[in-house]
Structure 1
Amino acid sequence: MRPLRPGEPPQISHYRLTGALGTGGQGTVYQGVAPDGRKVAVKLLHARLADDPRAHRRFVAEAEAARRVALFCTASVLDVGVFHDQPYLVSEFVEGETLAALVQTQGPRAGGGLDRLAIATLTALAAIHRAGIVHRDFKPGNVLMGREGPVVIDFGIAKALDATGTATSASLGTPAYMSPEQAGGQPVGPASDVFSWAGTMVFAATGHPAFTAGTVPALLHSVLSGEPDLRGLPGAWVEPIAACLAKDPAARPTAAQLLDRLTGGEAERTIPGGRRRVNRRVLILGTAAAAVAGASAFAVLRTKETKNPEKPTPTAISKATPTPSPTHEFGDPVGELIDLGGEATYKLALSGLLAITGSSRGALAIWDLTTGELRKRLLAKGSPVTALAADRTTLASAHADGRIRIWDLGTGANSATHRASAPVFWMTLTTAVSQNYDGLKDLYGTVRFWNPLTGKPVGPQNTVHWQGADDVAFGPGIAVTGDGAEKLRVWDLETATVTRTIPTGEIGGIEHVAYAVLGGKPVAVTTHVDATLRVYDLKTGKRRGRWQFSDRSPDDRGTSALITSGSTAITAHDASGEVRVWNLRDGQDAGRITGFQGRVTALAATERVIVVATDAGKLDIRSLG
């Protein structure tokens, strides 16, 4: 890190800059300090967007999408904005050198270290793709070799630059690791990242890129029509890496398919009575545990493909009676119940392999999902917990007395406390929404937006929600609220102003609201008191789907929780005690899970499991198949 030079800003937004980490084709990366004292990386992009406020908004919206990426194996995106006409992005600071630097100084990776690198980076790519993002610049320089393992950075930056209309080929990819479609100026998708990942693995294993040439045009020609140089690649790696380097994007496996194949059959164990129970750590951690097991990941891949040449890759959720996978079945318990010590849990957040629970008695605790053990009790009792939000390092908790507390998840220290003018009921780490509403005397709720890290309000308070806001969902740069007037409102988070009002148009008050992306379009997913699940297009305001909970509707009305994951919605139903999984593309009931102790009060999900909190003081982890 070098000191700041004359003319470089000492602070960007709320982040104090302490030095420059490096400068590249996209901009300069600074090390900074957040208001709560933690280290952050601040990437200030080059000044190419001056005098174009629409480009600024597009950049912020695209970069905000990176916040949807699951935390495992990626550096979480904390904030985005525009500073003196230059876009910036703030992410988690990861100690460690890049894969490019490590190979140059210490030589190629081999053995278990190479396998762990492959698994971790594939896991990151799968998470990035599930969030609807294409990295576009996956390369050795964008993999940090952190103390806790490899971490992928800069996902979403290239797409954000492209959204402004000012990006160049230099800023949207690195020629040696570009896919043929990217090198040819064609539209790119997740398959492009798989190609770049394979090129990165060739470099990691051999010390040389898969494609080389003396000039950039010659290099691009080699990518478009030449054969990759796989000399020095371990034998078990050649076949799968060659498949990933296919010129035709459709011929390449997806990141998720590679991960499924790499860990097939490794997670299963049998419990008394013959019922199969899945190893908790393998499922929650995903494929990373398999890399640590010792066997070559690619040797496993080749063996399983040889033994089962026609066996399709299992999907997580596809139909009401899911086809059993080689490792687990839909709805299976993952490990034993976690006993929360009698605390009825109403708020739940996940941070990698940790669950944070908050109760109506003010108890706040951190639990290890892999062992079921209490990791830390932050508060034994106090004002009821009304909202939680977390990333890899930081937790924000909101309480009924209006307090917002910021916590360091590593040490358990309360690094900051702020107070809002009313209780905060909905929150991310960058936006909190408070409401003051008394149903006995108020016709409208008084709602206000806040920055939870600083405790400062964003925009004026508003009184537009008749009978109060029922729920709030967050998307890139927006919030979506529902109220007693059966209206959805889309809010700009920078200005805290309404950009669209969507009447749901029918009897059936809004219970819960969640955000999702379907076919590249942002949607609001809602549950209603008439026992229906609905989907509304946030751009047009049109309803895209409406489905009854069951043939008993409206007698089975009443949901206690709603979350979304990709094109899937997950709902908790009071009448039946079930958790149901829905395919949002067609409204199909994709599966039901039962057998919970107590009423379901909160849900959270990873790619492969649902974490269910109940008012009996239990955390129940179930497989998604």
Structure 2
Amino acid sequence: MGKGAQGVVFQGQGPDGEMVAIKLLNTRLDRPGIDGERFMREVAAARRVAQFCTAQVIGANMDGEWPYIVSELVDGVSLQRLVQTEGPRRGGALYRLAVGTVTALAAIHRAGIVHRDFKPSNVLIGSDGPRVIDFGIARALDSAITISSGVVGTPAYMSPEQISGERVGPAGDMFSWALTMTFAATGRPAFGQDSLPAVIYRVMNEEADLSALPDNLRTIVRSCLSKRADERPTAADTLFALLENEGPIPERDADVAMTTGSQVAADPPSIPPAHAPQGPAGFPPPVAPTVWANPSGGYGRPYSQPAAQPTPGRHPHATPPTQGPRPNAAHPNAAQHQSPSPHPSPHQNAHASAHPHPGPQQAGPPRPPSLPPGDNDAFFKGVPQSPATRKRTGLVTAALVIALAMSATLLVVVPRWFASGEPEPDKQSVAGVTTSITPTPTPTPTPTPTPTPTPTPPPPQVVPALGKQDGKSLKGHSKAVQTVSAITIAGKLMLVSGGQDGQVRIWNAKNHKYVARLKGHSQEVYAVACLTMGKTPMAVSGGYDGTVRLWNLKTRKGKVLGYHGDSVYAVAVGKAGGKWYAVSGDANGMLKFWDLGKKKQAGKTVRAHSRSVNWLGVGRVGERVVAVSAGEDRTLRLWDLAKRKKYGKPYKGHTKGVYSIAVGALDGRPVVASGGKDNKIRLWDPKTGKSIGKPMTGHKKIVYSLSFGVVGERVVLVSGSTDGTMRLWDPKTRKPLGKPVKAHKKGVLLVAVVTMSGKPAIVTAGKDKQIRLWKLTGS
């Protein structure tokens, strides 16, 4: 039937007589540099796409010399050929084409796939309407190749970020869709079809001529052609705008904008010092961090809980994997006192670079759910899943929404079960492990005068040490545990975990029992952060599917809060000016801030790093609550949480990507510990951006997770690495305390200091699918 970049397509007949399309792939999956298992995961994702407006993927065989994929055969002609032979589309035909194709994209994106090669030749016009084909293979092949990755797509229909070699998300498909609609209306590519350099220059720098498009389509197409990916509407929003027959796309739905993070930083709880866990001086109390691992075996961040008495806040950090189109190793990030900090797995993309169009961002409709870093080839099509409609203003009618729900699952509607309000001090202190710790000063006893005072010998010095495993391992995840966060519910310490199996699970830390599963994510969960708003324990999760979900841990119901343009690798939550905010980071280096009380995005999307955001934490610098971001670009940056602006100077001490951070305090001043691919742990001053002393060395592989804690009155730092060990450090001397402990067989994804029965303990998670609790002792 034809040839393409990925292989040759044949027409065939199945055993039941059904006609099918068979694509023989050029790439063998048994050669070096190919991850066959990852390829099959992408194929499986393509098969989940709903079958309305797409060609269903029927099966695949990846064994042997000729791997192939079988899909439904669509009897029709391509849009490219149709326009060339019959001329441009007009009136209702053009409008139906726009509605049908964007519905297909909404279903594709909902399944966690990016088409990556949407163009006129990949739209077939059948007797029952337009069908989008060839989605899935490009992404599958790209994500399976672990050695190198090229730019996939057709230049005349590629987005600026795709041309520049950055990670391509659903927003890239919307740019290609707009160019395809322009071609359908005019009969020619919007940016020409002459020399390749000329076409690329126009895509990157010029605006398309849309004068030939009807008014009811022109404004929508123009919004999709924004040079900045974060300003384009999602496929779902574009569909709604088309159905409403309105030119402008609706304003961004605040309801869709919140992605939460790996840590929660809370104001110091008003608890008597003797019982309240403290955060490092100037930093909020510790919050439970989250841990995550990437699909390729990355690690997740552990959640740390504040230690008893002056327990420093812990930030479990998980570093993302360093390979693969998808988030690589998971980063164990320490979560703030109430919210575990998820670990973003950095997507290692050789082509990733800063966005070429740093112009001001404009408000626009919410973006589509972000898909995993790789993109899927257009060969797979499926019917859009029935869309659960998002609450938005101006929907045509309830009846229309119900009709749409039957054809494409685009959004999820969940009752607003969550409560807003201030977290209770007691619950806050228990919830987060990632927060910085402030040792609680011990009052000096007043000596009672006696005729002959007897000198009192100084108390024996406490020497912290890693103890043995406390109880049995927590088992239940079928793949690596990527993130963990701690929170107290009804007086019990609970752990919320996320894994590569797409599951979010609740555990009782004391009796080591599984409690419940939270269902919603379709793919790997990279970040989980817990917090208590009012009296309601909650958790926020983000992952490979680009969604950010909010969970009520009492009712165990969830709601999709919003989407990023790519996988969400990190989230953190904190309280500033009496309000709870969340910050989320993705594989494209973008940050989003969210007002949790209003449940809407606060301010604009921010370009934080030139490559993926691997970790996020929240702490205090003086009276200012700041978020700390770590990137694959080797830098760490501070952000004023309330103002959503850069603060202070970036830290540039690392020589490779940064995967983990913990915020704490030494001698009353805030400090940040960071680790990454250079296998070193560095301490630095968030006020000056300068290093404190020499780096700590010892780990043989990536430092994926860090967490501050307190043993007695002594501040300690716990680290976890992909070498499978955890280590204990004295941050003052920057020397190890005792020997390393082999915590997990295939790598530690998370470490977090928590308080169990009034004593400090450590939570770890790993690639071996298990969560463990460890004693942290002083001898």
Q: TM-score, structure 1 length as denominator?
A: 0.46
Q: TM-score, structure 2 length as denominator?
A: 0.38
Q: Which one scores higher on RCO, CA 8 angstroms, separation ≥ 6? A: 2
Structure richer in helix, relative to its length: 1
